[in-house]
Amino acid sequence: MPHAFTPNAYTRKTALIPALPRFLNFRAKSLLRANLLAILALALSFLLSDFPRNRATLALVFPPCLAILGTAEAVRCMRPTWDLYHASVIISLLMDVMVLTLVLFLLLWPYFRWFL
């Protein structure tokens, strides 16, 4: 008696793995994900440091890690040939360096107040 539906490897994979947006696939290069990680790190560092008062807290170690991940993701998007996408990646890298500098400043400033 033949079966009406015979499951194979393809139907099992598609049934178990939901479809995700492309920028959530960590195996694919994504400049959007790099920029989102950097902006998330900046916003998180402002929230955790309680910016105008600049609280010293150990939780401020996580935003630099996110900023470094965003920078690494942007470096992954580099192409060997020059085009407008390559220029946008370079601008994104400059933004990542500025975000990383600001996040590290918010991390270290409460500990160096005695220096002034």
Q: In tens digits, what is the pLDDT along the chain, a chain of 116 residues?
A: 555 655 555 555 555 556 777 777 878 899 999 999 999 999 999 999 988 888 888 899 999 999 999 999 999 999 999 999 999 999 999 999 999 999 999 999 888 876 66
Q: Is residue 88 part of a domain?
A: yes
SS3 state at 112 = coil
Q: Is residue 21 part of a domain?
A: no
Closest CA to 65 of 100, 30, 114, 36: 100
Q: Is residue 77 part of a domain?
A: yes
Q: Is residue 18 part of a domain?
A: no
- Which amino acid does the sequence have at 113? R
pLDDT at residue 17 in the model: 57
pLDDT at residue 3 in the model: 57
Q: Is residue 3 part of a domain?
A: no
Say how far apart CA 79 and CA 28 lie, in whole Å. 14
User: Per the structure, how many domains does the chain have?
Assistant: 1
Q: Is residue 8 part of a domain?
A: no
What residue numbers bound the domain in which 72 lies?
27-115
Give pTM, 2 decimals: 0.77
Q: Is residue 33 part of a domain?
A: yes
Q: Is residue 14 part of a domain?
A: no
